[in-house]
């Protein structure tokens, strides 16, 4: 199975996307009344902003763009180094939603206006229930993708170096948008960030354990940059 995945990375991504989307859609239909309502006092201090729908929606194309870009322009090890924490974290989040069904009640009762932004938020609310929110997969994925830009050497070249601060700004904008749209609590965001950092560290350990440096400690090689 591992060899098949290594030889067919695009099919592997497609199969995982099918698994994730099917599982999330099933949870959206089955979790009607959450067992845990997520809320903290900071949530009440954050205003609602319909314009945050723009960075929130950019999350959807950013994931496949980054995966395919690194697959095409970076060493294959960088691609799998991103896939390991990214897909593991999404799977663990789904599992947590099953064990601890959670949700929030932060959305405004009505969205004023009939402009593009207001209509887009209404469409989002219709198709995305306020359940399965903690940890925030939006935030988890954004942080994991952002770290990949700073880790991969393919972004060292002058013509690609700008993509690193751009990824950091997009990560921050998406994270803020989840709270400004009342899609997530501050608690969801914090746990999404913590999950990203923990799994990135775990992936670094796995890569180090399977590297030639670990198997041949006598060789004088430089440790990986993240170690």
Read off the pLDDT of residues 192-215 as tens digits, 9 standing for 90 and up. 999 999 999 999 998 877 766 555
Please indicate whether residue 217 or residue 12 has the higher confidence score (pLDDT): 12
Check: CB of residue 155 under 8 Å from CB of residue 149.
yes
Cross-strand pairs, 103: 37, 131
pLDDT score of 72 more than 60: yes
For 91-140, the pLDDT digits (tens) are 999 999 999 999 999 999 989 889 999 999 999 999 999 999 999 999 99
- Residue 2 in this model has a pLDDT that exceeds 80: no
Q: What is the mean predicted confidence (pLDDT) over 8-21? A: 92
- In the chain, where are the structural domains located? 37-215
CA distance 144 to 174: 13
Tell me what pLDDT residue 227 has.
37
**Distance of alpha carbon 75 from alpha carbon 149, whole angstroms:** 13
pLDDT score recorded for residue 223: 43
Cis peptide before 135 (omega within 30 of 0): yes
Entry pTM: 0.89
Q: With contact defined as beta carbons under 8 Å apart, do 174 and 139 qualify?
A: yes
């Amino acid at each position: 199975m591992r060899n098949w995945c290594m030889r067919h990375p695009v099919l592997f991504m497609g199969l995982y996307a099918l698994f994730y989307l099917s599982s999330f859609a099933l949870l959206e239909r089955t979790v009607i009344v959450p067992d845990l309502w997520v809320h903290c006092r900071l949530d009440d201090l954050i205003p609602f902003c319909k314009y945050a729908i723009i960075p929130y929606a950019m999350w959807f194309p950013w994931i496949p763009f980054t995966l395919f870009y690194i697959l095409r322009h970076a060493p294959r090890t960088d691609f799998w180094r991103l896939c390991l924490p990214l897909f593991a974290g999404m799977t663990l989040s789904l599992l947590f939603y099953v064990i601890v069904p959670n949700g929030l009640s932060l959305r405004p009762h009505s969205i004023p206006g009939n402009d593009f932004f207001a209509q887009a938020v209404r469409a989002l609310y219709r198709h995305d229930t306020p359940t399965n929110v903690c940890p925030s997969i939006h935030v988890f994925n954004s942080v994991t993708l952002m770290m990949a830009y700073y880790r991969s050497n393919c972004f060292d070249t002058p013509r690609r170096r700008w993509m690193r601060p751009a990824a950091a700004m997009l990560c921050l904008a998406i994270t803020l948008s989840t709270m400004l749209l009342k899609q997530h609590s501050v608690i969801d965001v914090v746990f999404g960030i913590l999950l990203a950092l923990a799994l990135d560290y775990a992936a670094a350990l796995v890569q180090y354990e399977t590297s030639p440096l670990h198997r041949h400690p006598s060789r004088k090689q430089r440790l990986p940059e993240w170690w």
